[in-house]
Amino acid sequence: MSHIKESVMSAAEIKSVRVRFAPSPTGFLHIGGARTAIFNWLFAQKHNGKFLLRIEDTDAERSGQDMVEAIIEGLRWLNLDWDEEIVSQSRRLEVYKKHAHALVQSGKAYKCFCSKEELAAKRDEAAKKKQDYRYRNDRKCLSLTTGEVEELEVRNQPYVIRLKLPEQPVQFTDMIHGNITVHHKQLDDFIIMRPDGYPTYHLAVVVDDYDMQISHVIRGDDHLSNTPKHILLYKAFGWQPPQFAHVPLILGMDKHRLSKRHGATAIGEYETSGYLAETVLNFLTLLGWSSGDDREIFSRAELVKEFDISGVAKKSAVFDEKKLEWMNGQYIMALTDQELLEKATPYLKKQDWITEEILADQKFVLKITAMLKQRLKRLTEFPEMIAYFFSAPERYEEKAVKKFWKDESVIDILQKISSQLAAIKDFENTSIEAVLRSITDELELGFGKVMNPLRLALTGGSVSPSMFEVMELLGKQNVLERIETACVYIRKNLVEN
RNA sequence: GGCGCAUUCGUCUAGUGGUCUAGGACGCUGGCCUCUCACGCCGGUAACACGGGUUCGACUCCCGUAUGCGCUACCA
């Protein structure tokens, strides 16, 4: 289907691009929804169009205002600004009603008084015979006379409105999947309005997309099978259908649709676990879309420039958090120290041991930030990696103690270091290094033999940035004290074991 | 069950009939760098679901099969 990829929008089409993101507020903004929103947003940006937001809350029972807020918050975090006012389907009930009845008037739809139970029974019966039940095959209520319908209505008999389907196959072209044909026998006279006057999804979506003058419907693959119904509705109304693009779904590592058991699915959880919005935007866009070359890191502007529907994949993609982590690390490294500190501050403030006083010393914190930059994958790691800068270690990592503090000789080494460091006037990076180099030379020891025990003494662990820089920031006083404490500990430890 | 959609390394993907002994990235892994970790660099690992066609030639086109997903609701 090579012609699909070559499809280029005409100038007229480009001018009038209007897309929408239409979540139903039955949950938080999840990864899949966020990506659909991103694709829509990018498409609108790319074509200088409008990106609209619509809340599909016709299922009153499952929808909630708090979920609406959560979705909006998620979009804001990703920096996906929408144009115009948010449309809420729950406020347009009369509009749908009007359109549904207009269809009844024009004979394109009809009222059906059959009860749910009645239909369920028929379905069961057909199933027993291994057949599919189709309302269109009996169309009981279609043969009702006007008088009969009126009588039922007077008696307040509840009814739904069904679309009367024509006897023709439905055909349309999807921008991602190409030509799709569905035989009309597969479709039924589906319900467009419920007894309570609420529209079904199909009606609401078509009416809204028409009213909002949506030019391109970009939505999840799960709607591909629904599209023929929508096309039929457009036809019944006599409206021109928009273009459709069905984007693949996102799956969990087990290849099943992403759900709670896969861990984090709500976009907000990625913020709390320390991912940058720009990372998530980049990553989600790349999940199911490719520019065609080997690039992986795209700025927002680059994404807008490069994004094209023709690069969207057909197959669903598995969400791999390992790669997300890697990408987040890349974004963190690309930040300036100042930017990184700003982004990390909310995470630092969550720790009660990080006081305002600590944060007030910008110069000091900024130096620490610089040292951590290429070691961070997620912002949440920031506080846990810097504790030793603000308080002496309370305990020492067990494995490291066994490895680096296994006999008396380390005490000698540490004390030697201590006494020579004490003599340094200008306690900074290079002078500290010079001292330590001379000590190792003198003792004829490998550098690691000295640095690792020292690191354990100063940080309590076996991992840290460059010791010289750490020492400089710690200051002479702290360094000497910590070495002393460590020596006491080592001696005691050796006696006990 | 019927119909629709999909199927390239474990994962994200490149690939539009010969350039493919299938490229990149994450992961994993060997090494270098090195005071540890990380970063960086060099290398390795690993894939065209299967079977038939069409063609001089198929990852690429067609048809089946398998598998997965979706629709088949008074959910969206």
Distance CA A103, CA A235 (A): 11
A260 is catalytic: yes
Which nucleotide is the nearest neighbour of A117, by CA and C1'?
B74
Report the pLDDT averaged over residues A374-380: 97
Residue type, A85: E
Q: Of all nucleotides in the shown strands, which has a C1' nearest the CA of A229?
A: B71
Tell whether the model's pLDDT for residue A60 goes beyond 80: no
**Model pLDDT, residue A260:** 63
What per-residue string of b and e applies to A139-168 under the rule 16 or more CB within 10 Å gives b?
Answer: eebbebeeeebeebeeeeeebbbbbbbeee
Dist. CA A133–CA A496, nearest whole Å: 81
Nucleotides of B under 7 A from a protein CB: 1-8, 10-17, 23-27, 34-40, 61, 68-76
Per-residue pLDDT band for A1 (boundaries 50, 70, 90) equals: very low
**pLDDT band at residue A343, thresholds of 50, 70 and 90?**
very high
Question: What pLDDT does residue A13 have?
Answer: 54
Between CA A401 and C1' B37 the distance (Å) reads: 17
Across A8-15, average pLDDT: 53
pLDDT at A265 over 90: no
pLDDT at A4 over 80: no
The residue that minimises its CA distance to C1' of B68 is A255
pLDDT bin (cut points 50, 70, 90) of residue A472 is very high
What is the pairing mode between strands A250-251 and A317-318?
parallel
**In terms of residues, how long is chain A?**
497
| Residue that wins the pLDDT comparison between A14 and A236 | A236
Å from A215 (CA) to B33 (C1')? 55
Q: Quick one: what percent of chain A has pLDDT higher than 70?
A: 96
Angle at A28 between CA A329 and CA A65, to 5 degrees: 140
Nucleotide nearest to A289 (CA to C1'): B13
pLDDT bucket at A126, cuts 50 / 70 / 90: confident
Binned at pLDDT 50, 70 and 90, residue A206 comes out as very high
Q: In Å, what is the separation between the CA of A298 and the C1' of B44? A: 29
- Phi-psi bin for A19: left (phi > 0), alpha (psi -120 to 50), beta? beta
Please report, rounded to whole angstroms, the spatial distance between the CA atom of protein residue A439 and the C1' atom of nucleotide B33: 23
End-to-end CA distance of chain A: 74
Number of neighbouring beta carbons within 10 Å of residue A438? 11
Q: Which range among A234-248, A269-283, A438-452 shows the weakest confidence by mean pLDDT?
A: A438-452
Taking the C-alpha atoms of residue A435 and residue A473, their distance in angstroms, rounded to an integer, is: 17
pLDDT at A2 over 50: no
Q: Which nucleotide is nearest to A60 (CA to C1')?
A: B75
ipTM > 0.85 for the complex: yes
Q: How far is the CA of A391 from the C1' of B36 (A)?
A: 20
Q: Are A224 and A141 in contact, with CB atoms under 8 Å apart?
A: no
Region A109-114: what's the mean pLDDT?
95
> Whole-number mean pLDDT of chain A?
92
Q: How do residues A314-334 score in pLDDT, each as one tens digit?
A: 999 999 999 999 999 999 999
Q: Determine the pLDDT at residue A15.
A: 60
pLDDT band at A166 (very low <50, low <70, confident <90, very high): very high
* Residue A197 falls in which region: left (phi positive, over 0), alpha (psi -120 to 50) or beta: left
Six token digits for residue A480:
């000497």
Average pLDDT over residues A4-9: 42
Tell me the per-residue pLDDT of A271-306, one tens digit each, with 9 for 90 and over: 999 999 999 999 999 999 999 999 999 999 999 999
- Measure the CA–CA gap between A284 and A261, rounded to whole angstroms: 20
Q: Indicate the pLDDT class of residue A10, thresholds 50, 70 and 90.
A: low
- Catalytic pick among A116, A260, A323, A492: A260
- The single residue listed with the structure tokens 């006599």 is A238
pLDDT band at A450 (very low <50, low <70, confident <90, very high): very high
Q: Which residue has the closest alpha carbon to B11 C1'? A: A320
